[in-house]
Amino acid sequence: MTAYVIADVKVSDPERYKGYMALSPGAVAAAGGQFVVRGGPHQVLEGDWRPNRLVVVQFPSYEKAQAFYDSVLYRQARDARAGATEFFNMVVVQGADEQ
């Protein structure tokens, strides 16, 4: 039932990004989600992937994760983020408990 939203972000304007960081936790919580990873040190163990800032958010279901992304609260956070990142890659993936 669990689902995860995973983002790889390269922040280009840290001051502007603070607006997104202030708004996104409320959008996550409103959809029943919780941060599992929010930045922090990381190391590539295999492959060519060179992630920048990694974020992982856990949701109780795939539908809740999708609802988070489409919510008014998260749209406001995305608007606040505009122009603050070089890239913002995000995926939603179903947890292993449903496979």
CB atoms within 10 A of CB 91: 10
Domains held by the chain: number: 1
Question: Tokens 């958010």 appear where?
Answer: 57
CATH classification at residue 18? 3.30.70.100
Secondary structure of residue 57 in the 3-state scheme: strand
How do residues 31-47 score in pLDDT, each as one tens digit? 999 999 999 999 999 99
* Bridge partners, 9 (sequence order): 53, 88
Q: Which domain holds residue 86?
A: 3-98
Judge whether 7 and 89 are in contact, CB under 8 Å. yes
- Judge whether 35 and 55 are in contact, CB under 8 Å: yes
Q: Enter the pTM of the model.
A: 0.92
Query: How high does pLDDT run on average in the chain?
Result: 96
